[in-house]
Structure 1
Amino acid sequence: MRTVTGWWQKPLTISKNVWAGLSLASMNIPQVLGYARIAGMPTVTGLYTVLFPLVAFALFGSSRHLVVAADSATAAIFSSALSEMEPVGSAAYIRLVSAVALLNAVFLLVARLCRLGFLADFLSRTVLVGFLAGVGVQVSMSMLYDMVGLEAGSHNTVAQFAGLVQAVAHVHLLSVAISCVACALLLCGGRFLPGRPVALVVVLGALGLSWLLGLARYGVTVLGPMQGGLPHFLVPVVSWHQFLALLPISASCVFVIIAQSAATSHAFAYRLHETVDANADIVGLCAANAVAGLSGTFTVNGSPTQTAMAVQAGATSQRAQLVFAAVTLCVLLFFTGPLQYLPRCILGSVVFCVAVGMIDVAALNHIRKESPGEFRLALVTLATVVSIGVEQGIFIAIALSLFRHVRHSYRPHTMVLRPDPATHELEASPVRAGMQTEPGLVIYRFCADLFYANCSLFAEDIDLLLCNPPTPVRCVVVDCSAITDIDYSAASVVRDVLFRLQMRGVRVIFGRVASYALADMERHHIAAALGEGNIYAQLHQAMASARQTLAQPEPNSRVADSL
């Protein structure tokens, strides 16, 4: 996999990124105008999110493909909270929205200083496949409303589906017909003309036909008039009381920004066999939100849908996003007028086709065949995104991933090493009562760190191995190759096990003890409980010492064999 540290470091095909940027602009400019409606902001501020913020992330971010722009998740978060503070669309409301974006930049800077990019490491490929599939289902369902000429009454995907079924008799047939033709052209173009700007041709063609034929007169919903011009840079000033009220709103946005952007950039990096620097991306997101707040627009975020559009259009670097920003600049200066004729059903069709492409059925099928447990995790992630929301889906996916990991650590593999009859090399066998490596000797391996949740298994296994052995056990060698950390609770259990074994006259030796595990053993007084000469860095040294014990005559009297 190629390590990506910056889009400027590799020679790229400029013409391909130019076409990709043009296609991206044709698909996304109408979409960000819709996000401005969700945010409760003037329509033109949607274009502002793909002007300076886009350039800022291209300069400071790491991902070659992540598109940072307006996003429905963060827009819904701050708009629902701020609408209770000031009237939506008022000058005071706009000032608060811009202040939230600036606060986001501050929080993101703190996140970078704390190196919170590591949170992306908790997003496994399984989770990312489910996440993108869930976003694909969610977005495609919401776009169906635009495609049939209806207005969605809810942001919840399940409610949208139910509403669409109930309103099927009220669909606008001409909008449906236009959407079907557009989808057919887009899907056929993607199959037979890969890498060509088919979406750009479809959008421009629909724009021209709408203007010539006056589709709005026939009931086809169009974007409508909007103002143009460049944004004015200023620092939004809020009162101390408002500042305190904005802190939890901004914190919520930042959690979603970090999680969603990391999930999106890593998902496409995995798909395209690349890597990204999550901490560098946080710097890019910080810069993007800073210029968003100063330019009078709203919070920006890494968008899975728009990133999928960029990849599908053939973008190979952030140069495509710079072309997108340049097109946005031209639109703001000269072409806001023609945009009013663009049918919403065309926009819905373009986004619908991209969203369907985000559902990687082949990857889900591979996961199902290779790891049914992880496949179920992917399905849970998908279902959560669809039924509850993107941000909740990400956090639940991380929680489930951590739970799955802890579950494996809680019941780790444990085994006894025994010589193979054919090769006489040590082979691992599951722990069973009375099992021995050789008469009087047990070599036991615990395949995880010892901590409060799994230390009881360590004690249970030792007791089980000493239960009715064929030959009295005189020495237990613990293979510590997988033990790198021992916490306080586990250390107490280990010391108790050592005491009981010593009372039974059983010598305990630890082998393959790494330096960091040895430090824990000394700090928790395990080394003192073992006694000198019972800790070795290599297993063969521990076995040699154990055989010396076995070679010595067994004491005539032993301490009572009881726990």
Structure 2
Amino acid sequence: MRIPVFGGLWPIKPREALRDAFAGVTLASMNIPQVLGYTRIAGTPVVTGLYTVLLPLVAFAVFGSSRHLVVAADSATAAIFSSSLSRMATPASEHYMALVGMVALLTSGLLVLARIFKLGFLADFLSRTALIGFLTGVGVQVGTAMLGDMLGVNVASRRTLVELWQILQGLPMLDPRLLGLSLSVVACILLGRRFAPNFPVSLIVVIGAIAASARLNLAQHGFPVIGPVPGGLPSLRLPQVTWSETLAVLPVAMSCFVMIIAQSAATSRIYAIRHQERVDENADILGLAAANAASAVSGAFVVNGSPTQTAMADGAGARSQAAQLVFAGIVLVVLLFLTGPLQYLPRCVLASIVFTIAVGMVDVEGIRNILQESRGEFMLALLTAAAVVAVGVEQGILFAIGFSLVRHVRHSYQAHAMVLIPDASGRWVPAPAQPGLVTAPGLIVYRYGADLFYANADRFVDQVRELIEKAPTPVQWLIVDAEAIGDIDLSAAQTLRGLLEDLSRKGVRVVFGRVNRYLLADMQRHRIAAIIGEGRIFPTLHEAIDAVRAEGGLSADPGAATGPRGH
């Protein structure tokens, strides 16, 4: 297997390099405060946020192919592992960080397997609707978790509903000074995001808060601060956990894997299309694996292809991974020389920054669009969000996948079925299949809208029988329009053979039209073609109708009714 490197960097021209360098500086100024905030979600020391945009950024730039994807800390994956690991160890403790590192290492291994065995399709089982609902639920959960620090209320639980209850109980004891500062920070960031999206409002807020805290000694006046932040380069080591702990966190890594594949693939694809570029998704999966391995050995946590940070980079003018390498270089400077002042940052300011991230995760416009297009999909999004809030983030992603699959199976189980009937002008038009409908005297053209499998085969058979039995005149010909039938499984084939044999005894001849080569292979393998007769299976509907006419089963000319030949 050939492994190309620097696919997201080459070729690069001097003028483009200068533009990407400026974009990297802009990206760093906007994102450093955010990656510090992600540590509040992850339950890790503040400095680990900087670690996520050091070696992982470089690793993806080396092995990935996307010129635009920014791989860094992400709120969704941070929420996934923190909600589970916090029940196994105290957040930010040495044991907790070892578990966090093992999750990142296992996630890297799963991504490598996905690259080798081409398992990226697994993320397709997380529908866009479920993903919107999941991220909305995570936004509510993360936002709620930040309210304690923002209000100065003690919150002991890490379960969202319990947290809300504890916050409500603690409202009489909230600190109005913390509330005022928190609201000011939230207002500044949200207004900046709305009216000056390319201006580093978060960085200005952080610098201002650090300066004010150091000058006024806010820690001595009841404003909790984050405390000393270790500087220097991260130590490189493998996470030390037991075999039983590794097995225990494997499901957490699998949840992170699904989220990474789903978000990263979609994000890189969007920006490749926007800039008319090609992207090697397999190379990106390998780049994500390398980034998470780098994160695991450098004391950080799971990283992901971030849609929000990628959008920031694109808006800043980044057109290659050179911008991300500049970003990593600035983080290196911060780690070596500028971590000292971070100790004065008030915790409520950091919590407020995370709260604005949580607000951004609630996709109000996306949910509104889903409601306008499909109430069923809207309920799916709400159920997924509710599962995340009520049960937990890790379980929520399983619910999201489960809901997506159930909805898909339900669509296939209750597939649309149509009968071609003549309209006022004599043209044949599709109408929902109802007993009593016929295409012409003695003929029914029946269209089924899904593959035939074990769950829906009986519904297919029952509907065909009812159409034939309740037809106003005896049915001699049944044409099955199989355009939407791409597959017939073993159970469905057995059921279909029984129907065909019964119809043959009753004198009803069956013809299949619009049969593609894959369906034809299934029909031959399952002996369906032998029962119907190879001469009554056609690649187009017109040929099927012509065959019926040739045998005297249709006197009227349906040519104008069925559309152009070849259909």
TM-score range, shorter chain: 0.7 to 0.9
SS in 2 for 1:533: helix
| Partner of residue 198, structure 1 | 201
| Partner of residue 556, structure 1 | none
| Partner of residue 499, structure 1 | 501
- Displacement of 1:47: 3.6
- Displacement of 1:236: 5.6
> Do structure 1's residue 540 and structure 2's residue 534 form an aligned pair?
no
- Displacement of 1:351: 2.0
SS in 2 for 1:53: helix
Distance between the aligned counterparts of 1:369 and 1:359, measured in 2? 17
Give CA deviations for 1:501-526 in whole Å, capped at 9, x if unaligned: 11112211112211111111110001
Of 180-189 and 165-174, the range deviating more from structure 2: 180-189
Distance between the aligned counterparts of 2:377 and 2:35, measured in 1? 34
Residues 107 and 251 in structure 1, CA contact (< 8 A), matched pair in contact too:
no
| Partner of residue 386, structure 2 | 383
| Partner of residue 257, structure 1 | 256
Of 95-104 and 340-349, the range deviating more from structure 2: 95-104
| Partner of residue 557, structure 1 | none
Counterpart amino acid of residue 284 in structure 1: G
Residues 20 and 310 in structure 1, CA contact (< 8 A), matched pair in contact too:
no
SS in 2 for 1:187: helix
| Partner of residue 432, structure 1 | 434
> Do structure 1's residue 89 and structure 2's residue 94 form an aligned pair?
yes
SS in 2 for 1:466: helix
Pairwise mapping of residues 144-159 of structure 1 onto structure 2 (< 5 A)? 144-159=147-162
CA gap of 1:126–1:20, structure 2 versus 1, over 3 A, is same
| Partner of residue 287, structure 2 | 284
CA gap of 1:236–1:504, structure 2 versus 1, over 3 A, is closer
Say how many residue pairs are matched: 533
Counterpart amino acid of residue 49 in structure 1: T
CA gap of 1:132–1:267, structure 2 versus 1, over 3 A, is farther
CA gap of 1:309–1:152, structure 2 versus 1, over 3 A, is farther
| Structure 1 residue runs without a partner (length 5+) | 554-563
CA gap of 1:156–1:59, structure 2 versus 1, over 3 A, is farther
> Do structure 1's residue 69 and structure 2's residue 81 form an aligned pair?
no
Residues 100 and 249 in structure 1, CA contact (< 8 A), matched pair in contact too:
no
Which of 168, 189, 208 aligns to 2:211? It is 208
Distance between the aligned counterparts of 1:273 and 1:110, measured in 2? 24
Which of 51, 75, 89 aligns to 2:54? It is 51
- Displacement of 1:73: 2.6
Distance between the aligned counterparts of 1:546 and 1:321, measured in 2? 65
Residues 57 and 68 in structure 1, CA contact (< 8 A), matched pair in contact too:
no
Residues 58 and 322 in structure 1, CA contact (< 8 A), matched pair in contact too:
yes
Distance between the aligned counterparts of 1:149 and 1:319, measured in 2? 42
> Do structure 1's residue 357 and structure 2's residue 357 form an aligned pair?
no
Residues 419 and 425 in structure 1, CA contact (< 8 A), matched pair in contact too:
yes
Residues 66 and 265 in structure 1, CA contact (< 8 A), matched pair in contact too:
no
Residues 79 and 138 in structure 2, CA contact (< 8 A), matched pair in contact too:
no
Of 538-547 and 244-253, the range deviating more from structure 2: 244-253
Pairwise mapping of residues 323-402 of structure 1 onto structure 2 (< 5 A)? 323-402=326-405
Counterpart amino acid of residue 73 in structure 2: A
| Partner of residue 561, structure 1 | none
Pairwise mapping of residues 7-26 of structure 1 onto structure 2 (< 5 A)? 14-26=21-33
Residues 437 and 471 in structure 2, CA contact (< 8 A), matched pair in contact too:
yes
SS in 1 for 2:487: coil
CA gap of 1:274–1:124, structure 2 versus 1, over 3 A, is farther
- Displacement of 1:14: 4.1
SS in 1 for 2:552: helix
SS in 2 for 1:550: coil
Which of 506, 509, 516 aligns to 2:518? It is 516
SS in 1 for 2:406: helix
Residues 432 and 465 in structure 1, CA contact (< 8 A), matched pair in contact too:
yes
| Partner of residue 29, structure 1 | 36
CA gap of 1:453–1:387, structure 2 versus 1, over 3 A, is same
CA gap of 1:281–1:164, structure 2 versus 1, over 3 A, is farther
- Displacement of 1:183: 2.2
State the TM-score, normalized to the length of structure 1.
0.85
> Do structure 1's residue 112 and structure 2's residue 115 form an aligned pair?
yes
Give CA deviations for 1:105-133 in whole Å, capped at 9, x if unaligned: 22321122122221232233322322232
> Do structure 1's residue 137 and structure 2's residue 140 form an aligned pair?
yes
Distance between the aligned counterparts of 1:428 and 1:293, measured in 2? 58
Distance between the aligned counterparts of 1:142 and 1:303, measured in 2? 24
Distance between the aligned counterparts of 1:194 and 1:89, measured in 2? 38
Residues 500 and 510 in structure 2, CA contact (< 8 A), matched pair in contact too:
yes
Give CA deviations for 1:5-57 in whole Å, capped at 9, x if unaligned: 8476795654244212212113323543x467x35xx6644543332123223
